[in-house]
Amino acid sequence: MSLSESDRIEILDRVRSFKEFTKDNDPYGEHDFGMVEYQGGKYFWKFDYYDRKMLFGSPQPSDPSQTTRVLTVFLAEEY
């Protein structure tokens, strides 16, 4: 959140348009993790799938009626 709103919007746009999935970076074909670059920084992003109460993992991540999806974006150097 220390980035400006315009920087956050640009990073999220890059996450939305990410299509560089390969067998190496997406071995299960889930498209739920990636890395984008912006102004010299590398940002990892990942989706997590929780139950509707956000207490446990979703029993069926592909079913929106049972799942709350959470996107996390963070600097790779903070991993």
Among 30, 29, 35, smallest CA distance to 15 is for: 35
- Where do we find the tokens 């139950």? 51
Pairing status of strand 33-38 against strand 41-50: antiparallel
Quick one: what percent of the chain has pLDDT higher than 90?
92
| pLDDT tens sequence across 29-46 | 999 999 999 999 999 999
**Rounded mean pLDDT of the chain?**
95
The domain limits of the chain are 5-78
**Is the CA virtual torsion 60, 70, 14, 39 positive or negative?**
negative
Q: Largest Cα–Cα distance in the chain?
A: 39
pLDDT, position 52: 96
Q: Does residue 19 surpass a pLDDT of 90?
A: yes
